[in-house]
């Protein structure tokens, strides 16, 4: 199983939105533009997921998006590493803005911490979860996509997750893009590309200066300009995410939707490299 951790040094960068939408590119029923049908295990490892269960969790945590969105969650009786796992099924009925033809395949799962107590959070063990779950996917293939806690909130817990990942995907915004270096400084974090999220659409002089600053900054790192995916700020994406609707499943897709497929293509490239090594 290929393990990808989506990470940020602080909250508010849109890390969960990226995790949700990129995973849904792999959950397509059929191959689409270079990204094949892939078994997916979403892992909600953010401490917001333990605020509460039964509908009282934080509204912007990964598991909550599956609860409120066009899905049915079925417990499969699997617990490991302090997590419980649910099977995800597409259920578009009653969601007027959802394209009923934009389904998902039958090997999509989501895991959340099994305990709602905040004190239990430090005991979760993602590695144990993945080791136990790996045999569920045919031929031990598949993708585990981890929504990790911000490093400024749960440094040790997050660090363990990132060190045990095949690739780490930093998600930043314009106020934090220089934090890419903080990820690159850690040799144990395998950063191959990064995401700069919520990029303003208005082509102002200030935006031009920021882009020049960013490109100048990248020249001092191993990343190339094409290794950074810029996701535009998108009101349609914001509203459908609140409702748990993946960008590609909305009847009128947000303009940002192709960017999540681009991120998935980068991720698929890393998976192919691992398969060939």
Residue 96 CB-density burial (10 A; 0-12 exposed, 13-18 middle, 19+ buried): exposed
| pLDDT number for residue 48 | 66
- Residue 191 phi/psi, 5-degree rounding, is -95, 120
> What pLDDT is stored for residue 122 in this prediction?
65
- Give exposure, 147-181, as e/b (b: 16+ Cβ within 10 Å): bbbbbeebeebbbbbbeebbbbbbbbbbebbebbe
The residue assigned the tokens 């999540």 is 260
Q: Which CATH superfamily is domain 2-276 in?
A: P-loop containing nucleotide triphosphate hydrolases (3.40.50.300)
**pLDDT score for 59:** 58
Distances (CA, A) of 167 to 55, 158, 172, 273: 32, 14, 16, 11
- pLDDT in the model for residue 181: 86
Which pLDDT tens digits describe the chain residue by residue (277 residues)?
Answer: 999 999 998 888 999 999 999 999 999 998 888 899 999 999 999 776 555 554 444 557 899 999 999 999 999 999 999 899 999 999 999 888 999 999 999 999 999 988 765 555 667 889 999 999 988 887 768 999 999 988 886 678 788 889 999 999 999 988 888 888 889 888 889 999 999 998 887 777 877 888 888 888 888 888 888 999 999 989 999 999 999 999 999 999 998 899 999 999 999 999 999 887 6
How far apart, in whole angstroms, are the C-alpha atoms of residue 218 and residue 203?
21
- Confidence at residue 199, expressed as pLDDT on a 0 to 100 scale: 86
Separation between Cα atoms, residue 55 and residue 68, nearest integer Å: 9
Yes or no: say if 169 and 263 are a contact pair by the CB < 8 Å rule. yes
How many whole angstroms separate alpha carbon 114 and alpha carbon 261? 31
Question: Residues 6 or more apart from 125 whose CB is under 8 A from it?
Answer: 81, 82
As a three-state string, the secondary structure of the chain is: CEEEEEECCCCCCCHHHHHHHHHHHHCCCCCECCECCCCEEEEECCHHHHCCCCCCCCCCCHHHHHHHCCEEEEEEEEEECCEEEEEEEECCCCCCCECCCCCCCCCEEEEEECCCCHHHHHHCCHHHHHHHHHHHCHHHCCEEEEECCCCCCCHHHHHHHHHCCCEEEEEECCCCHHHHHHHHCCCCCCECCEEEEEECCCCCHHHHHHHHHHHHHHCCCCCCHHHEEEEECCHHHHHHHHCCCCHHHECCCCCCHHHHHHHHHHHHHHHHHHHHC
Q: What is the pLDDT of residue 134?
A: 83
- Cβ neighbours for 272, distance < 8 A, ≥ 6 positions apart: none
- Can you tell me the distance from the alpha carbon of 143 to that of 7, in angstroms, rounded to the nearest whole number? 16
Cα–Cα distance for residue pair 175/43, rounded to 1 Å: 27
């Amino acid at each position: 199983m290929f393990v990808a951790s989506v990470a940020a040094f602080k909250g508010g960068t849109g890390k969960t939105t990226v995790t949700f939408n990129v995973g849904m590119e792999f959950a397509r029923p059929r191959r689409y533009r270079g990204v094949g049908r892939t078994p997916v295990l979403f892992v909600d490892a953010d401490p917001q997921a333990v605020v509460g269960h039964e509908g009282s969790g934080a509204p912007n945590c990964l598991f909550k998006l599956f609860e409120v969105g066009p899905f049915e969650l079925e417990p499969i009786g699997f617990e490991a590493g302090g997590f419980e796992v649910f099977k995800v099924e597409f259920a578009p009925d009653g969601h007027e803005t959802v394209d009923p033809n934009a389904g998902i395949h039958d090997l999509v799962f989501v895991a959340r911490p099994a305990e709602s107590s905040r004190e239990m959070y430090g005991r979760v063990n993602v590695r144990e979860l993945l080791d136990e779950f790996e045999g569920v996917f045919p031929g031990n293939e598949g993708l585990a996509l981890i929504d990790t806690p911000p490093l400024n909130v749960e440094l040790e817990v997050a660090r363990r997750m990132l060190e045990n990942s095949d690739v780490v995907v930093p998600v930043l915004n314009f106020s934090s893009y220089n934090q890419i270096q903080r990820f690159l400084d850690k040799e144990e974090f395998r950063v191959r590309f990064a995401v700069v999220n919520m990029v303003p659409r208005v082509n102002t002089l200030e935006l031009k200066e920021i882009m020049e600053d960013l490109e100048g900054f990248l020249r001092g790192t191993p990343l190339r300009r094409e290794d950074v995916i810029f996701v535009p700020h998108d009101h349609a994406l914001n509203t459908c995410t609140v409702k748990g609707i993946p960008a590609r499943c909305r009847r009128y897709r947000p303009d940002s939707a192709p960017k999540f497929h681009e991120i998935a293509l980068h991720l698929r490239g890393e998976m192919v490299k691992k398969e060939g090594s």
